[in-house]
Chain A
Amino acid sequence: MRILLVEDEKKVADFIERGLKAERYAVDVCHDGRAGWEMAEAYDYDLVMLDLMLPELSGTEILERIRRKNQQVPILILTARDGMDDKVKNFELGADDYLTKPFAFAELLVRVKALLRRGPVNRSSVLRVGDLEIDRLTQSVKRAGKKVELTAKEYSLLEYLATQPGRVFSRTMIIEHVWDQSFQGLTNIVDVYVRHLRAKVDDAYPVKLLRTVRGVGYSLSDGVTT
């Protein structure tokens, strides 16, 4: 999998590059718009990540040029602007996703995986993490064969975490996915739900599946799969 990252802030580009390489992606980095466009034209990428404010050629301009060539490559916009107009305009021009700075790298990774159709395309009706079983059709949950009673919100939270076992989900992502953006800034609601979920799913068992990642968020893993 080869990813093109066009970002003029070298330090931002550095940690994204490092993080993606650690996930075993091949990453090409350009620091200005013109070089970015030349790279995008010359090679066949699986994903392009564009900053909007770039020297020489703006991210929107590159986006337009790539789409004019009718390339199907997924494009993720990284930007410091989050005006509604900007977002709508770039989606209309053919962007696939949009991430506003500052973001958690964990979140970037989840979105990258989703765009590369490796992540949440886990469409099987039963999700398994260790001895935890989630049946998406009946919305029932079993741990070590025993049924666990969950409220609707607790279930959505657990199911969301189980779509990518071992992956860290930021509180922002969880809120956007399980609640809605009105709850933005109310991150303690996630903590309360996770606490309740833990009491039902983990407390009675020696192996703890729900993991807190300080400063980032939560993940669901049996410690074996990552």
Chain B
Amino acid sequence: MNRRSISFRLVAWYAGLLAGIFVLLCASLYLDLRRFLVNDLRESQLRRAREIGNTLLVHVKQTGESYVASQTEDWYDPEINDRFIRITRADGTLIYTSGKPKDGSFNPDEVPKLAPSPHVVFSRELKLSGNKTLLVAALNFKSPGNPTYLVEFGALLDPVNTMLNHLFLQLTLGLPLAVFVITVGGYLLVRRALTPVEQITRAAESITQHNLSERLPVAQTGDELERLSVSLNRMIARLDDAFQNSKRFVADASHELRTPLTILRGELESLAEDPRLASEWRDRAAILLEEAVRLSKIVEQLFALSRLDAGEAQTDWSRFDLAELAKTTAEQMGLLAEDKNISIHCEARQPMPVEGDQVRLKQVVVNLLDNAIKYTPKNGAIQLRVSAVNGHVVLEVEDNGVGISREALPHIFERFYRVDQTRSIDSEGAGLGLSIVKSICTAHGAEVEAVSVPREGSCFRIKLPLSKN
């Protein structure tokens, strides 16, 4: 699971927060309940101690101490009610102490005697044998004209503790379970909420420069995701518009330039050929004519590119042997290479059937070879290879020429890009040759890539699907 994904972080935060809140809540519930129950027990013991004081000890002068003892025994029946009662004189001698409870839950003899205390009311928790805890409330009872008596009234804390232990167990078992259920539920909810995001992402990734007319699916849910996909679609539409505009601009511009260029060329041609002009003037006209011809060539190439952009390569589709095409092209270009004493070695033994526009694919080979010849110094060598790799035909043109610098390499297929801005060997062209190669390859679903080491050479590689039947 991706730890940085929104679903993971959302669920982690959510589960963590909930677990924290639950722990705090349970702890405070447990402690509060415990305090409340212990207090309640203590108060009820104290209340009884006061009862003994207010009803019996007040009249001790008249009734005598033994009456107090017997009445206490009668009223509270401590052996049956599991209570501990002890009444002591100020000097520590006993008036009354309760016996062992009938169920034997504790032994009252284990309760230690109290040292005289200045406090009127106090309580203590006593650990007795058999792991019992006795809560004993004590009252120093004074009444006018009577001696001071210490009344102790106690009850076992164990029922309260048992209940609290049970609650503690319930909470410690229930809490992780609750957190687990909440986490799983939360994860499923988040997953469900984010599935459209996943779909939008996939659809957005499949949209490239070549299928900008496609749009993302819009789920009519009225939520944020619908808005997101709608705005993404608007953005794609704007991109599409921009691309279309730039393509249309190239097509329109190259079209609009044709008529003025025709006039320029026609007039300059007639001037350059006019025998009535001095040869110096005819030469100048010829220079202008050469430039006009170069301009026309650029316009021609731009127009070819805009037609490839418009997907017109599909008109002349056929099946042919790329190996044969490479061989004949290399032969036809042989003289250009020979002129610089460059050898072209062609390695294309087996027939490689491909499907495509033969004239345009030949242009790819021509442009690549022409480039290789231009950028390879005298006595260099060029390798032209056609081979089959994993159901694809790979055509490579490798030279040992000047190479391409690392900075220039990513840009060489861009329109009008020149590797060397100041002194280009290719004074004729306009830097469109390789972008035409790229456009033709794209129109054929082929990949084109270039690798190069400066001063050692370059290699251009084209990967076309092999024709099946």
Contact = CB atoms under 8 A, between A and B. Distances in A.
Interface of A: 9, 11-12, 15-16, 18-19, 80-85, 100-106, 153, 168, 179-189, 192-193, 195-196, 213-216
Given A15-B267, A19-B270, A183-B366, A9 B259 contact: yes
Given A12-B266, A15-B267, 13 more contacts: A12-B259, A85-B315, A101-B259, A102-B299, A104-B269, A105-B265, A183-B366, A185-B433, A186-B367, A192-B339, A214-B286, A215-B269, A216-B269
A182 B287 CA distance: 27
Interface stretch (B30-38, B73-81, B288-296): B288-296
Q: How large is the interface on B (under 10, 10 to 19, 20 to 34, 35 or more residues)?
A: 35 or more
Interface of B: 255, 258-259, 261-270, 272-273, 283, 285-290, 292-293, 296-297, 299-301, 303, 307, 312, 315-316, 329, 332-333, 335-336, 339, 359-360, 362-363, 365-367, 370, 428-429, 433
A182 B359 contact: yes
Given A18-B270, A182-B359, A185-B433, A215 B286 contact: yes
Contacts of B370: 186
A11 B255 contact: no
A82 B300 CA distance: 10
Contact of B312 (A83, A101, A168, A195): A83
Nearest to A168: B273
Given A181-B359, A192-B339, A105 B270 contact: yes
Determine the main DSSP class of B at the interface with A. helix
Contacts of B332: 153, 179, 183
Contacts of B258: 80, 100-102
Contact of A185 (B300, B316, B360): B300
Contacts of B433: 185
Contact of B265 (A9, A103, A179, A186): A103
Contact of B335 (A81, A84, A106, A192): A192
A102 B296 contact: yes
Contacts of A196: 335
A103 B269 CA distance: 11
List the 4 shortest-distance A-B pairs measured between CB atoms, nearest first: A215-B289, A214-B286, A15-B266, A182-B362
Contacts of A168: 273
Contacts of A83: 307, 312
A168 B296 CA distance: 19
21 contacts: A15-B270, A84-B312, A101-B262, A102-B262, A102-B299, A103-B262, A153-B335, A182-B363, A184-B363, A185-B300, A185-B429, A186-B366, A195-B339, A213-B272, A213-B273, A214-B272, A214-B289, A215-B269, A215-B285, A215-B289, A216-B289
A182 B307 contact: no
Contacts of A179: 332
Nearest to B264: A102
A84 B267 contact: no
Contact of A189 (B269, B272, B333, B359): B333
A85 B315 CA distance: 9
Contacts of A104: 265, 269, 293
Contacts of B329: 182
A85 B360 CA distance: 17
Contacts of A82: 303
Contacts of B428: 187-188
Contacts of A84: 312, 315-316
A105 B270 CA distance: 8
A92 to B, nearest CB: 15
Nearest to B274: A22
B263 A11 contact: yes
B65 to A, nearest CB: 130
Contacts of B267: 11, 15
B261 A102 contact: yes
Nearest to B296: A102
Contact of B269 (A80, A105, A180): A105
